[in-house]
A and B are shown apart, each in its own frame.
Chain A
Amino acid sequence: MSRLVKQWIPTLIATVTGLIVLAGYLFPGQLLVYYQGRITQWRDVLIEWAVIVAAFAFALGLLNILHVHGGRVVHARKGWFYSLVLLLAALAACVPPILYGPSGALTQQMLNYVIGPLGASLAGLLVFTLTLAAFRLLRVRRSVGAVLFVLIVAVVLLGSTPFVGLEWLADARDWIISVPGMAGGRGLLLGVALGTMITALRVLMGSDRPHSEF
């Protein structure tokens, strides 16, 4: 009984749900004309349910943050002050949407003048971390691949600058991006698509059961 509830029922639900959603996308309208409309309807309902479940997952995420950081503050563990700041900031961020709604002026101002600039500054930090990583690469791993990597990064970056006398680098940059870069990117995408399909089929066949107990 326990095995039925913990293994077979979740697997059956996952397989049937996956097959219905997949059929709703894959079977063309001309094929199975009668069933197509019905399958599409079921697919839409299931996707709607998934969105509702995802919304509940956000509540779980918030509880997890409270559990981890609240515990750290209460027990005064290492870094408790940062956790306290995080909890206070999270609490403050909840106030405008609750009082004025998600499209209220104060909520929008908070998004535009606090959360937006913070995200932009983090994105700005990436330039430094990536440059530092390239520097570390030359120091730690002196190989042909490493030198080529840094050389290509330098050409692409300098080719994007408007410096006089470096126009020829812009052509080299364009070639790198549109020929080897594009080819490599497409190769990656094809490989990832195959991996995605195999993983999804494993779940649909019940061979991989991340959602069941056994």
Chain B
Amino acid sequence: MYKSTIRGTGLAVEPLNEQLYAVLQAVQGYIYPNEVELQWGLLIVLYPYLTGLVAGAFILASLEKVFNVKEIEPTYRLAMLTALAFLLVAPLPLQLHLGHPERSFEIFLTPNLHSAMAMFGFVYAWYLMVVLLLEIWFDYRKDLVLWARQERGLRKWIHLALTLGATDISERAVAFDRKAVRVVTLIGIPSAFLLHGYVGFIFGSVKANPWWSSVLIPIVFLFSAMVSGIALVLVLYLFTGLVRRSLDMACLDKLAAFLFYALVVDFSLEILDFIHRLYEAEESISILSQLISNRLFLSLVVLQALLGTVLPLACLLLVSPVFTGRGILQLPGELRRLLYLGCAVLIQVGIFSTRWNVVIGGQLFSKSLRGLTVYKMELLGMEGFFMSVLLLLLPLGILYVLVKILPPWKEEAVTAPSVGYAGD
């Protein structure tokens, strides 16, 4: 009848069939026959998760530059590098998921301008080239020149190359750099909104799917992006600060407070979305409530809402200085650090669940609104669990390299050529 291998990959079709027969057994009610195969799996869960971290980290970094939040200055460069590291990995899950990865460049060559997805390449390129790289370059340029002057060997050449030949560090040139950073940040904030709001739009504009089709989705995505980005930078700052024994508690408190504000807005929007759906009670309400109580109870009610949102909200409200200079419960620094870490980790789990609930949840019910299906995750393979773990660890690896090349720590932003590179 047809070849038993997947063209271009040499992979056998049989395992897929086995999996689909197993899904067929687990279907409840009626689903259209073509819905047995779940189209977007774990990799597509990663995509909004990763871009969310990028947008969130960048917006956090912008707070310092644009709104002059001095306390969080120690995290500025770390946040920028984090955004870059995650942005570099963000398109990989998409690429790996394509049926024909070798044709992906067609999106650039002949984009269908009516397609939300076609804009991905352009939004991505704009954000990477015009916003992140440019801002990081202007911000680091003076240090790159100074490092290149003091160092020897490979590091000297790497840093010299990264200056792109612009080695003028006169007062005027450095002032221009500062101005440029500010301008790019001003462009960057709407761009970060665009990047992640756009990812939300990809889902929110699918009118065929009542779980996705909502004008609130891009906005919910944005705020959850901020939440996840701030939480990630908080964890990274806490971790690197402890390792380097230079943790600024005021900075950490401020991060926790911002995390709280973002979480409040995010949670309010999600609740609004929920109440709105419940109140309108459209045709899809019955299947969607079955979806929540039946298929998404753990990931939505337990992980996303209770552990990922309500618990951290309560904890941050009590511990971090959200209203005044001090928290409601005045705890010693060490305990505060521990609680912040716990909250940030819970929030990461919660936001990952949010992405899961949108992407996978939106495919677990039939568009006939008459049945539920299941998602059988693979362990191995391109779309498997291990590949996803790898894609989640990869940005951390890239970040490690970036931090080695472009140390984001304040002490290493040399002002006078006194001491050589001290290592980190």
Query: Do A and B make up one complex?
Result: no
A interface residues (Cβ-Cβ under 8 A, vs B)? none
